[in-house]
Amino acid sequence: MSTATAPVERKRPMTKEERKVILASSAGTIFEWYDFYLYGSLAAIIGAQFFSSFPEATRNVFALLAFAAGFLVRPFGALVFGRLGDLVGRKYTFLITILIMGISTFVVGLLPSYETIGWLAPVTLIALRMLQGLALGGEYGGAVVYVAEHAPNGRRGYFTSWIQTTATLGLLLSLMVILSVRTYVGEDAFKSWGWRIPFLLSIFLLGISVWIRLQMEESPAFKK
């Protein structure tokens, strides 16, 4: 007795459209990971800016807890934006998540310190971190689904594996920007105000990412 199987397309190279799908999905996700990792890389400096009323050890703990808040809400972001993607389409859900992430990151760069606005500074910072976590939770799962829905039979694992590389590339990009700014402005200036520059630069990456996402086609599975 024979078993029917779906046709497998393992040998042919990627088409131009398939490469575009992977590039568009990966580029946006790299940007979101860049935004997410900026905070982790600068946690000690951010702790001194937004939790300055506490001893150094305590402020570092609070800074890391704020970083963890972004991870804690990621599952909720996946649930909310996953469902939204089913309702309105992957393309527009991608635009929403990337705008939330980009704007939240930019606002972190503008946010006054504890010395200026008191307890509103850390509360707002944590709220922004949670928004980033929600956006990344929706973005990462949505990117995998979007690519999988465009992938030919037998190559979904290969196509979606490209999305996994975005976390590493986002981390490397954030470290490169931080090191470049730190070298250019000097250590003292970086701790005082220069740490904001990598966050503010994200607005340019946001513009590029939105433009890329606007060129994307809707998922074929959603069109059906």
pLDDT in tens, the chain (224 residues): 444 444 545 556 677 777 888 888 888 788 888 988 898 899 989 999 999 888 888 998 999 999 899 889 999 999 999 899 888 888 888 889 989 999 999 999 999 999 999 999 999 999 999 999 999 888 888 888 888 888 877 788 888 888 888 878 889 999 999 999 999 999 999 999 999 999 999 999 889 888 888 887 777 666 65
Chain centre distance of CA 27: 10
Report pLDDT for 160: 85
- Is 7 in a helix, a strand, or coil? coil
Q: Where are the domains of the chain?
A: 16-216
Q: Which one, of 214, 209, 219, 211, lies nearest residue 28 by Cα? A: 209
Radius of gyration of the chain (CA): 20
Q: How far apart, in whole angstroms, are the C-alpha atoms of residue 100 and residue 161?
A: 25
Number of helices (H) and strands (E) in the chain: give both, helices first. Answer: 11, 0
CATH classification code of 16-216: 1.20.1250.20
Report pLDDT for 1: 47
